[in-house]
Amino acid sequence: MFPVLNVFGLFPIPMYGTVFGIGFAIAVLIARKIGPLYGIGRDDITFASLYGIIGLLVGAKALYFLTKLPAIIIHFDIYLEALREEPLNAISYAFSGLVFYGGLFGAILGVFCYCRQYKVPFTPYLDIYAPLLPFIHGFGRIGCFLAGCCYGIEYHGFGSVQFPYNELIPELNKVPRVPVQLMEAVLNFILCAVLFFLMKKKKMRSGQLLGIYFVYYAIARYLLELLRGDIIRGGVGHFSTSQIISILLLPVGFVLISGRWLTKKHSKAV
């Protein structure tokens, strides 16, 4: 709806990055409060979060590139020519987007790298960040809605959304659409609340909160993909890239929920 906010008509502010940044900053503040209850210092939380956001950006870009790679390989001669004549456009085609799952795994890997580098335990971070991942993602999907990306299929019923013209996505305003971005945001915030409740009220083993997140989100994302109208995210056959990853993520989530792979987590509750 508002891809860019023009401040005084002079300073364009991209709304996606702004909303995502707000969500990330709030999440870091919450994590800094929770960290000491798990024996993690506030400074460690801050720096691990920075490693995580770097990993998120790299992972999201890398997976987006992989979704474009088949087309680049098939039309390699054309892409090579475009790279010579219009390098910025060619690079933008390959790396301009973000894929959430790549960002998720990249963020986890970034935090893991921080823990390895500074020799601090990794598993408590899984518990601290688990409810904050859907929190940040919920803000990100609101940003998607404002930017008009990740839009839904054509829909003329109750709750449909008619986007204004967006020169970056010319087809966006042609028909009313399912507000799938807001639906995903709501589901993420619900999951965030559930995970915080479990964190506070239940004695969970390390990794179980992350496992619940994986299972919940994998199922939700698989179904939400059926309502997506954009084709930029790539896929194999009848399955989108995110649906394939969701299927693969389910058993990982169940293994984490089983709680057999790690020792029991700290019994302190938030």
**Does residue 213 lie within any of the structural domains?**
no
Q: What is the mean pLDDT of residues 50-69?
A: 94
User: Which one is predicted more confidently, 44 or 68?
Assistant: 44
Q: Mark 20-58 as b/e (b = at least 16 C-beta within 10 Å).
A: bbebbeebbebbbebbeebebeeebbebbbebbbbbbbb
Query: Tens digits of per-residue pLDDT, 80-131?
Result: 999 999 999 899 888 888 899 999 999 999 999 999 999 999 999 999 999 9
Alpha-helix runs per DSSP H in 86-235? 87-95, 100-118, 123-129, 132-147, 180-201, 208-225
Q: What is the mean pLDDT of residues 61-72?
A: 91
Confidence of residue 252 (pLDDT cuts 50, 70, 90): very high
**Rounded CA separation 79/87 (Å):** 10
Are 212 and 195 contacting, i.e. CB atoms less than 8 angstroms apart?
A: yes
Query: Tens digits of per-residue pLDDT, 161-193?
Result: 999 887 778 888 899 999 999 999 999 999 999
Of these ranges, 10-19, 74-83, 214-223, 253-262, the one predicted with the greatest mean pLDDT is 214-223
pLDDT at 102: 95
Q: What is the DSSP letter of 36?
A: G
Domain of residue 196, residue span: 4-201
pLDDT at 167: 77
Q: How many other CB atoms sit within 10 Å of the CB of residue 82? A: 16
Confidence of residue 1 (pLDDT cuts 50, 70, 90): low
**Does residue 153 lie within any of the structural domains?**
yes
**Does residue 95 lie within any of the structural domains?**
yes
Confidence of residue 56 (pLDDT cuts 50, 70, 90): very high
Confidence of residue 204 (pLDDT cuts 50, 70, 90): confident
Q: How many other CB atoms sit within 10 Å of the CB of residue 91? A: 12
**Does residue 187 lie within any of the structural domains?**
yes
**Does residue 77 lie within any of the structural domains?**
yes
Query: Tens digits of per-residue pLDDT, 227-245?
Result: 998 876 667 778 998 999 9
Q: What mean pLDDT is reported for the chain?
A: 89
**Does residue 119 lie within any of the structural domains?**
yes
Number of domains in the chain: 1
DSSP of 109-125: HHHHHHHHHHT--SHHH
Predicted model pTM: 0.88
Cβ neighbours of residue 25 closer than 8 Å, sequence gap 6 or more: none
Q: What is the mean pLDDT of residues 145-167?
A: 90
Pick the range with the lowest mean pLDDT from 11-15, 30-34, 69-73, 248-252. 11-15
What are the two backbone dihedrals, phi and then psi, of residue 233, each rounded to the nearest 5 degrees?
-80, -10
